[in-house]
Structure 1
Amino acid sequence: MHLIITDARLARSHAIHLSGGKLVLVGLLSSFVLMLMSAALYHWVFLKGAREGWPVIGSLVRLVVKDEFDQRDRFMRANLDAMARKLGEMQAKLVRLDSLGERVSGLAGIGAGDFKAPSGQGGVLIMGHSLSLEELQATLAEMDKLTDQRVDLLTVIESRLFDQKVRSMMIPTQEPVPGHMTGSSFGWRIDPFTGRSALHTGLDFPGAVGTPILAAAGGVVVTQQFHPEYGNMVEIDHGNHLITRYAHTFKVFVKQGDLVKRGQVIAQIGTTGRSTGPHLHFEVLVDSIWQDPQKFLAMGRGMPEMARAQSPPRAMQQR
């Protein structure tokens, strides 16, 4: 394409040659400039009409703003309803947590009523109308308060249960020779050496020499010595004036002052001291008074005490 530009004053002319690519580029630039001018003019007219309250433009602005607010309100309402449903589910979980907490609190020695909220409120969130943002915030704040109370109470329960577990580990309920029937039981019997009636102060666990002996509970070794009657003897202090004694042992693996835990191997069965054969003589003392070890071992085995009291007696009586 050729364009000829003529200047009458100078009596000159100038020719411009435009190829196809240049024509397309000129067209695009012209369109872009026209669009910018149109947008600027529309923006100026629209703003001026909105400021001065032109009827048509003012109505259009109100419609646009109203539609935008309606969309925003629908979006917020949908989110509030979803949050309210989630809040209802959380409240239902709190109710189940309360029920579980009441049962667990009984195990910890805490009154079930102590686990309930002071206000006595609860239950699933059932709404007759949609919650407002303020109502939702108030409900969330109340749930946050109740959750803090539950956390505090569960912390107390955890502490109580841990304390009970520690105390249970310090009570001699572990059989010192597992799976072995006892020989002589606690109480009066005919002494195998004198043939006279005498008090047998513990339980006898027969076994081969070298059979492991376990600590009936955790504690501190307070005695490890040879005794004329008890032979190689170990005594463990479990606190609260409670001591267990292990007599006639063959070999001892602990010494005075050692900390031992429940079920730890502390010695081996032997026949040292006043004994008629290899066995463990096991005693439990509270305030230096002999107690029937069956009362303690019964708790560990989960069996009625009378069921073990009726176990068949051994032919050989041992001390």
Structure 2
Amino acid sequence: MQVIITDAWLAKSRALHLSGWQLLAAALSASLVLMLVAAGMYHWVFLKGAREGWPVIGSVVRLMIKDETEQRDRYLRENLNVMARKVGDMEARMMQLESLGARVSGLAGVSMDLKTPPGRGGALVSARPLSLEELQATLDDLERLTNQRVDLMTVIESRLFDQRIRKMMVPTQAPVPGKPLGSAFGWRIDPISGTSALHTGQDYQADTGTPILAAAGGVVVTQSYHPEYGQMIEVDHGNELITRYAHASRVHVRKGDLVKRGQRIAEVGTSGRSTGPHLHFEVLVQGIPQDPKKFLNLNPNPVTVAGARAGAVAAP
């Protein structure tokens, strides 16, 4: 394509030769410039009309703002409704948790005196849509109640753990399970001296080498040979409660060892002042011998008491 440019007096002329690609690029450039100018003018006119309140433009602006506001309100309302349903589910679960907590606290011996705020509690049901402020207030109440429940459950857990530990420290485990009982706690005729004497423990008849189990968890405070008790072990369970295991043939723990309920600590024997293989088991509270049956009977599976066999009773 050839373009000829001349001045006003036709004194000079100039010819421009444009190829097809150059002509297309020029057209596109001109179009882009026109679009930018039009957009700028439209923007300037629209803003000026909105600021100065031109009737037509003002109406368009109000419609746009109204539509945008309605869309935003509808979006917020839909999200508030979803959140309200979830909060309602949370409150219903909080009621279930409160009921469960009441039962568990009764087992743990903990007083549960937690009250929901006035006018609240239960599933979140409302006849009218909730506002954002009301929903936030409900969430704040739920957070406060949740913190209270967490504190309560922590106390209950601590109390139940303490009760479990105390229970595990009470000698209710038979030291020689399944074996018949010999001489019981109390006054009897001493099998060696033939005189009346207090038998301070409970005898278990068993063959030499039969495992002796710890009646409860505790710390070994004595592991030595006693002239009367023979190979003897004493386990301290706290609260001035001690169990004693006598006449062992072999011991498996030492002084200072921690033992668990049911742990093998020794083997039945006939060491010391004894007339036959057996275990002499004692329970002492503040150093005073107690009847072991008072503790062993707390076990849901107590050992059946059998008659004593002759020649298998101990002196101490």
- Same-fold call, TM cutoff 0.5: yes
Q: What is aligned with 1:73?
A: 73
Q: Which moved more, 1:234-243 or 1:254-263?
A: 254-263
2:187, 2:196 within 8 Å by CA — same for their partners in 1? yes
Code of the aligned partner of 1:5: I
Kindly tell me: are residues 314 and 65 of structure 1, through their superposed partners in 2, closer, same or farther at Cα, counting changes over 3 Å? Answer: same
Q: Output aligned runs, 1:226-241, within 5 Å.
A: 226-241=225-240
**Aligned residue type for 2:307:** P
Structure 1: state its 5+ residue gaps: none
C-alpha displacement of 1:195:
6.0
User: 1:223 is matched by which residue type in structure 2?
Assistant: T
Q: Deviations over 1:140-184 (max 9, x none)?
A: 111121112112211211221122122122211223234434344
Looking at structure 2, the residues matched to 133 and 119 of structure 1 have their Cα atoms a distance apart, in angstroms, of 19
For 2:267 and 2:217, the matched residues in 1 are separated by: 18
Q: How far has the Cα of 1:82 moved from its partner?
A: 0.9
C-alpha distance in structure 2 between counterparts of 1:244 and 1:222, whole Å: 10
The answer to whether the Cα contact below 8 Å between 1:174 and 1:215 also exists between their aligned partners in 2 is yes
Distance 1:8 1:63, change over 3 A: closer
d(CA) in 2 for partners of 1:147, 1:248: 57
Distance in 2 of aligned mates of 1:29 and 1:118: 72
Letter in 2 for 1:81: N
Deviation (angstroms), 1:190: 5.6
| Aligned partners of 2:116 and 2:145 also within 8 Å | no
Question: 1:104 deviation in Å?
Answer: 1.0
Mapped contact 1:115–1:150 kept (Cα < 8 A): no
Distance 1:181 1:72, change over 3 A: farther
- The 8 Å contact of residues 209 and 270 in structure 1, kept in 2 or not, is answered as yes
Aligned ranges 1:23-34 → 2 under 5 Å? 23-34=23-34
The equivalent residue for 1:175 is 174
Select between 157-166 and 176-185 the one with higher mean Cα deviation.
176-185
Give the letter for the 2:96 counterpart: R
Q: Give, in angstroms, the shift of residue 12 of structure 1.
A: 3.3
**Structure 2 residue identity aligned to 1:96:** Q
Aligned partners of 2:3 and 2:16 also within 8 Å: yes
Q: Secondary structure at the match of 1:3?
A: strand
The amino acid that maps onto 1:122 is G
Q: Is the 8 A contact 2:214 2:261 kept in 1?
A: yes
Matched-pair contact (CA < 8 Å) for 2:117–2:141: no
RMSD of aligned alpha carbons = 2.4
Report the equivalent of 1:150.
149
- Bigger Cα displacement from structure 2, 136-145 vs 14-23: 14-23
* Counterpart Cα distance in 1 of 2:7 and 2:59: 53
Aligned pair in 2 of structure 1 residues 282, 13: CA closer, same or farther (>3 Å)? Answer: same
1:63 is matched with which residue? 63
Query: Aligned pair in 2 of structure 1 residues 195, 102: CA closer, same or farther (>3 Å)?
Result: same
Bigger Cα displacement from structure 2, 275-284 vs 68-77: 275-284
Superposition pairs of residues 96-245 of structure 1, within 5 angstroms: 96-111=96-111, 114-117=112-115, 119=117, 122-187=121-186, 191-193=190-192, 199-245=198-244
Q: TM-score, normalised by structure 1?
A: 0.88
* 8 Å Cα contact 1:102/1:115 also seen in 2: no
In 2 relative to 1, CA 38–289 (structure 1 residues): closer, same or farther, beyond 3 Å?
Answer: same
Alpha-carbon spacing, 1:72–1:118, altered in 2? closer, same or farther (3 Å): closer
Alpha-carbon shift at residue 246 of structure 1 (Å): 0.2
- Structure 1 vs Structure 2: percent identity of aligned residues? 63
CA distance in 2, matches of 1:166, 1:235: 19
1:15 maps to a residue whose letter is A
Gapped runs of 5+ residues in structure 2? none
Q: CA contact under 8 A between 1:105 and 1:115: conserved in structure 2? A: no
Aligned: 1:261 with 2:260: yes
Q: For 1:2 and 1:195, how far apart are their aligned partners in 2?
A: 146
Structure 1 residue 118 displacement after superposition: 6.2
**Secondary structure of the equivalent of 2:173?**
coil
One-letter amino acid of the structure 1 residue matched with residue 28 of structure 2: L
Segment drifting more, 205-214 vs 267-276: 205-214
The 8 Å contact of residues 209 and 268 in structure 2, kept in 1 or not, is answered as: yes
2:242 aligns to what SS in structure 1?
Answer: strand
In 1, the alpha carbon distance for the partners of 2:157 and 2:113 equals 13
Find the residue that maps to 1:299 and give its secondary structure: coil
Distance 2:121 2:8 in 1: 97
Supply the distance in 1 between the matched residues of 2:270 and 2:179 (Cα, whole angstroms): 17
Q: How many residues align?
A: 312
Q: Quick one: distance in 2 between partners of 1:8 and 1:119?
A: 93
For 2:204, what is the secondary structure of its paired residue?
A: strand
Which residue identity is paired with 2:23? L
| Contact 1:206–1:278, Cα closer than 8 Å, also in 2 | yes
